[in-house]
Amino acid sequence: MTVDRLVIAFAGLFILLSLLLSQYHNINWLWFTAFVGANLLQSAFTGFCPLAIILKKLGRPSGSAF
């Protein structure tokens, strides 16, 4: 998988996990959901994504976005 697809997969996983945790553990997990969404939005405009940098250093092939 390319960096682009991995970033999207991680974001989706973290959003679903935090939504699940907010329902069964603590409502404050929704702040994490908002953080992931905000990070996705800013990376769409700036092209900067911390996870993409980490994945590139781990040797994953680059995609077209990052």
Provide mean pLDDT across the span 42-60. 91
Asked if residue 66 is part of any domain, the answer here is: no
Asked if residue 43 is part of any domain, the answer here is: yes
Asked if residue 37 is part of any domain, the answer here is: yes
Asked if residue 63 is part of any domain, the answer here is: no
- Please tell me whether the overall predicted TM-score, pTM, comes out greater than 0.85 for this model: no
Asked if residue 64 is part of any domain, the answer here is: no
Report yes or no: 41 and 60 within 8 Å, Cβ to Cβ. Answer: no
Return the exposure string of 14-34: e unless at least 16 CB atoms fall within 10 Å of the residue's CB, then b: bbeebeebbeeeeeebeebbe
Domain count, the chain: 1
Position 57 pLDDT exceeds 80: yes
What is the residue-averaged pLDDT of the chain?
A: 91
Half-sphere exposure of 21 toward its Cβ, with a 13 Å CA cutoff?
Answer: 12
Asked if residue 62 is part of any domain, the answer here is: no
Domain that includes residue 49, residue range: 3-57
